[in-house]
Structure 1
Amino acid sequence: MHFLNQLFPGFDTNKQFFLLAGPCVVENKTVMEETATELKRISEKHQIPIIFKASYTKANRSSVHSFSGIGQQEALSLLAETGAHYQLPLVTDIHADEEAQIAAQYVDVLQIPAFLCRQTSLLLAAGQTGKIVNIKKGQFLSPASMQFAIDKVLSTGNENVMVTERGTTFGYQDLVVDFRSFPIMKQFGKPCIMDCTHALQQPNQSSGVTGGRPELIETIAKCGIAAGADGLFIETHPDPGKALSDGANMLNLKDMDELMRKLVLIKNALIG
């Protein structure tokens, strides 16, 4: 896991956890600045390394009418500007092979969406950039089968891989988290992350808008740390009710500070 020290000098997964956090998608400069300002403050207050997250485009939407972004170039530029101003490393999703080299010019971590985690050409393209690659475990995959996704990136000579648990399909409109996935996936020797927001999605709603249970984010986050997650993925927004994407799943930004305080206590208790 030495590559994490490139982002966070002195970081020790035995003593700390890290956070991937930010709005679901790049909406506008105001939301980006407000979110980054608070996350930077929280990072310094609780000594939690943070990778700022925002998708520059949303390719996987329930409805053709759903918001997909402000424009790829504008979004990438705003994302890079935010990272530079607040001195935060960046992560964003890619959805097609050709996006890998483009996004890699702006961010530190390329994220592979769960639905695309078996897409060989996409994983190879991400690996070939040399960037850190975070692969989200598909809702349809066993934890053990994530080794094959990791191997695809490793085959490019890129050892900088992380994996993220984001729940397993439970019927047509729900997900559940099997926390046994952490001891299984940690055997791969790569950082393991708990996605605390998408794991609470309620997909396939008749309205065409994915639902969620954000009131349970704290529960999933606590369980993730207790189960051995090296990092947490939490989408957050100053006003989730007005968010342009995934508002039903995001944590209100004002609640992030107190949640981190509780999670640090759990991590410290595990250290003993």
Structure 2
Amino acid sequence: MSQAERDFSDTELLRYSRHILLDEVGIEGQRKLAQSSVLIVGLGGLGSPAALYLASAGVGRLLLADADTVELTNLQRQIVHREDSLGLSKVASAQRTLAGINAEVQVLPLAERLAGEALLAAVQAADVVLDCSDNFPTRHAVNRACMMAGKPLVSGAAVRFDGQFAVFDPRVADSPCYRCLFGEDGEASDGPCATFGVFAPLVGIIGAMQAAEALKLLIGLPGVPLGRLLTLDLRSHDWRSLRFKRDPACPVCALRQH
């Protein structure tokens, strides 16, 4: 019997009791999480906290995509990995950690850099997609696949002390996509951590925000910040919210399902 077809056990009711006590979530909201699938692209600094929170919250199925292996420099901030995971693929390392947190969650590791039809298939298999990658080509590819599949996308980025965050939902009429905000003719990377460094708690903050918006989308809670780019300067802890609109000439928005 699938997670979607059965009632919660007493143990699960106890595990998720703090969610169930929330009027905005309740037993029905928790049931929606148990029936949902999330794709996380990138199991680094952003994907690590996002995966931990989504598994802890009881999302039924997590698809984890990353082609890299765990290195010692990752452990400063990529909190889903452990010292005994050095040399393992990041998705296998994350799967092992998540199994120790919540064995009820189904984790599907995809040890590859998703592209083309494989990326589109993974997006189509998810209810919400989290882009936790660290380069613009991947972000644009994920955005394109989400527009084509009609799936909401939660995007995050972090380098040095600066983070940013945005949500895109092609199911909402006239809502913008990632391409409306960032063109595809920019630099191939916004600053890899290996070159510029990153303050460890920053990726935890942005990754946790991605998990929070994913849970809101899955449950159907209001207040998802569409059409807004949230930026954080952690040196001063200044938050900014920048509004932006759909580009009527955006070629990616033209791919979205109607």
For this structure pair, what is the TM-score category when the shorter chain's length is used for normalisation? 0.3 to 0.5
The two structures have a TM-score, normalised by structure 1, of 0.33
**Could you tell me the TM-score, scaled by structure 2's length?**
0.34
